Amino acid sequence: MFHHLGIVVTDFTRSAALYDACLAPLGIRRTETDMDWAIYAAEGGQPFIWLGSEIPTYWRADHQAGNAPLHIAFAAADREAVDKFYAAAMEHGAEDHGPPGLRVGSGHYYSAYILDFDGNNIEATLREK
């Protein structure tokens, strides 16, 4: 399991509003904010996500947001949380990348996919038995 994850975005204010809205139904909240970055975490604080428009000094100086989109899947407590994640993302201008529904893969799971403003594939998912 990871400790934290960093996502560089081109428009921090717009992206933070999107992440605030779509992560809330999953129990993930903004826990810290600075001028151009924010921390998101569930209860307990770890793992956490760093979201920002300023490239941290420990990253490659020539990195550009959106060059290598991420796929991040967040665990949802139930189908309603997946549905609310998707609805909030759509209301805040994210791109549909797969509406809520039952998927068949390595077991059945219920998920929804959105693309954030930098092309990152963000998923809310519930593994069902």
Contact of 51 with 117, CB cutoff 8 Å: no
pLDDT digits (tens, 9 = 90+) for 95-109: 999 999 998 876 788
DSSP 53: S
Residue 64, in any domain of the structure: no
pLDDT digits (tens, 9 = 90+) for 19-37: 999 999 999 999 999 988 9
Q: Is the pLDDT of residue 54 over 80?
A: no
Residue 91 to residues 21, 36, 86, 95, 114, Cα–Cα distance (Å)? 9, 23, 9, 10, 12
Assign residue 101 the CATH number of its domain.
3.10.180.10
Query: At what angle are helices 12-23 and 79-91 packed, to 10 degrees?
Result: 150
Q: pTM, whole model, 2 decimals? A: 0.86
State the residue range of the domain holding 22: 4-54+69-127
Confidence (pLDDT) at 12:
94
Residue 49, in any domain of the structure: yes
Residue 29, in any domain of the structure: yes
Contact of 119 with 110, CB cutoff 8 Å: no
Residue 59, in any domain of the structure: no
Residue 60, in any domain of the structure: no
Which has more confidence, 31 or 45?
Answer: 31
- For the sheet with 71-75, list strands across it: 71-75, 121-127, 107-115, 95-105
Structural domain count of the chain: 1
